[in-house]
């Protein structure tokens, strides 16, 4: 799969999994919703019930900015349609008042009108797109 095809499939996905690592090397994996602008992935902490808006993923990125974000397609009936795409890059924590976050919030609102931002945003600058398709038609 080419980087362009991987990016196209990634952009069309509705949910992804964000992998971060803390300062001690312990992995942390969570599902996220996101918007993609060129080669930057944005995901905001939303207002769904949480104990805090200072989530582990934000702490991990502050300690170690290298992350991976994965999307995939699974089909019980057609394993030739299986595929996955991974975006590897460096993440930054943005406060919602920053101009870059303001623009990203508009993109997120277009994709997920029900989402209500409540905390900081992650901006992930993708350095590498990779992927795997199972079959010719995948």
pLDDT recorded at residue 84? 96
Residue 60, token pair as written in the block: 């991990």
How large a percentage of the chain has pLDDT more than 90?
Answer: 78
Mean pLDDT of the 65-88 span: 94
Task: Give the residue extent of every domain in the chain.
Answer: 3-133
pLDDT in tens, 8-52: 999 999 999 999 999 899 999 999 999 999 999 999 987 665 665
Residue 126, token pair as written in the block: 């993708």
pLDDT recorded at residue 20? 97
Indicate the SS3 state at residue 94: strand
- The CATH architecture that domain 3-133 belongs to is Roll (2.30)
Residue 81 has what DSSP assignment? G
pLDDT recorded at residue 71? 97
- 19 near 75, Cβ under 8 Å? no
| 134 Cβ contact list (under 8 Å, min separation 6) | 79, 80, 81, 82, 83
pLDDT of 137 over the 60 cut = no
Site of tokens 């992995």 = 27
Q: How distant, in Å, are the alpha carbons of 58, 71, 85, 134, 137 from that of 91? A: 9, 17, 18, 29, 33
């Amino acid at each position: 799969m080419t980087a362009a095809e991987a990016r196209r499939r990634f952009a069309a996905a509705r949910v992804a999994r964000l992998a971060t690592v803390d300062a001690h090397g312990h992995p942390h994996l969570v599902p996220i919703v996101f918007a993609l602008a060129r080669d930057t992935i944005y995901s905001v902490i939303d207002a769904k019930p949480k104990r805090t808006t200072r989530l582990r993923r934000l702490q991990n990125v502050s300690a170690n900015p290298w992350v991976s974000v994965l999307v995939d397609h699974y089909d019980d009936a057609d394993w030739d349609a299986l595929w996955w795409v991974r975006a590897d890059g460096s993440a930054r924590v943005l406060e919602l008042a920053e101009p870059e976050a303001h623009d990203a919030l508009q993109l997120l609102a277009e994709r997920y009108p029900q989402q209500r931002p409540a905390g900081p945003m992650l901006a992930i600058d993708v350095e590498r797109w990779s992927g795997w398709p199972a079959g010719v038609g995948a």
